Amino acid sequence: MKILAKETAIYGLSSIIGKFLNYLLVPLYTYLFAESAYGDVTNMYAWTALLLVVLTYGMETGFFRFANKEGYDAPSVYKTAFLTIFSTSLLFAMACVIWQQPIADWLEYPTHSDFIVMMAITVAMDAFASIPFAYLRYKKRPLLFAALKLLFVVLNIGFNLLFIVQLKKVDVFYVFLSNVLATAIQTVILIPFTLPRGGKYSFTVLGDMFKYSLPLLVLGIAGIMNQTLDRILFPFLYNGADMKMQLGIYGACFKVAMVMMMFTQAFRYAYEPFVFAKHKDRQSVEAYADAMKYYIIFSYLILLGVVVYLDIFKYIIGPDYWVGLKIVPVVLWTYVFQGVYFNLSFWYKLTDETKWGAYFSLIGLVITLVLQIVFVPRIGYWASCGSSLVCYFVIMLLSYLVGRKHLNVPYDLKRIALYTILIAVILGIFYLIPYPAQHQMTYRMAFGTVLILIYLFVFYKWDLKNLLRK
């Protein structure tokens, strides 16, 4: 737990600082760009996230699995994954450059095929870099990993400020151009640290990795679609003339809840190599159970903090977007369920039953798709965030119920249930108590701070005190 906490802190620091610095771009965009223009940014980056999963096709997790598996040579596993991802990423970028106009027409950007080219180049470089970054995690080099991730953020912000603020180029084109340039520089610096040394390219290893990873590709596509389908489908499902404006509001308010995603991502970066290495230990299941409990405890704390101080967090986005802030608690709960589902997912990764991950993700995709098709035309982006919440709750529950039969992890369900009841009661009190009309924001945050302190006190009495004694 100490090793996991240390690496989570390092990965988390880079992630949190990086995301926080990127938050500087959110007010830049939302205070300068119209809602419809920010809708273009939201939609394009949703496609980028989906394509990145397709182009990595589960090889990142496959690398961790086979690099730690007996009978496999880790350098050969890495070289095989490295060269394979490089080849497919290059082919994708070339295809998008050649057919940029037909793709732009299909995505309803007929006058902006340049968006397609920049998106393709960015995604291709990010997909290729996923394996070298996984190698840094495998080699336990979190500081270098964090430094390179932060370098991208600094460069991206720098280019945005140069083009949009200094040169007065208030246009979405320069948002994407900044991303391309920052990604290119990061990739060039990353390669010398991660070039394959030793080992050999093996089609046998590649076949084994594909067999293991392709179900993860289905899982990944369905999973990322569960996360991004709301922003991809919205232009096709919402019939109002203000479609891009509504999408921009939704995308901006989603950013307010991103602090929860930062924590989940930081935990994931440290937890994935930890789990595969720890699996050799006979007491590994107890470690997984502890990790789940503490993940939930801290995710509830973050949720409570964002809800209580939402009147401060809302200034991340421009006032024109505040009309959508009521979706923030829904998005936060979605991230909590998503993080728990990620924790649960290791039972099928460790038992090589990755097909179950594909099943769960496909079920979630069907739920998301049906709810959005039915309700987005009626209630707009409320259906988008609500469908994600239902999706992750259902697949989280399914993964737990099925996983009990394959890998017996002694989760502390009683304590988790108590924390869940505690956070529900605290949130209920926070929302239902009547605040004085005058200085309402001040009273709300002051009372919310007291509730946070109560939660921390309970955490100390129930778990933290005993943990500190170990």
DSSP string computed for 115-139 = HHHHHHHHHHHHHHHHHHHHHHHHT
Cα separation, 187 vs 148, whole angstroms: 9
- Spell out the alpha helix ranges (H) of 318-412: 328-344, 346-350, 355-379, 381-403
Amino acid in position 325:
L
Cβ neighbours for 212, distance < 8 A, ≥ 6 positions apart: 58, 62, 65, 66, 352, 354
Q: What is the pLDDT of residues 142-186, one digit of tens each?
A: 788 888 988 998 899 999 999 999 998 888 889 999 999 999 999
Q: Residue 188 burial by CB count (10 A; 0-12/13-18/19+): exposed, middle or buried? A: exposed
Cα separation, 359 vs 222, whole angstroms: 9
Q: What is the pLDDT of residues 346-402, one digit of tens each?
A: 777 777 777 787 788 889 889 999 999 999 998 888 998 899 899 999 999 999 998
pLDDT, greater one: 39 or 162? 162
Cα separation, 467 vs 427, whole angstroms: 26
Cα separation, 230 vs 247, whole angstroms: 9
Residue that has been written with the tokens 């489908």 in this structure: 233
The yes-or-no verdict on residue 424 having pLDDT over 70 is yes
pTM of the model: 0.72
pLDDT, residue 18, reads: 65
pLDDT, residue 409, reads: 81
Q: What is the dihedral of CA 424, 426, 432, 437, to 10 degrees?
A: -150
Cα separation, 423 vs 452, whole angstroms: 10
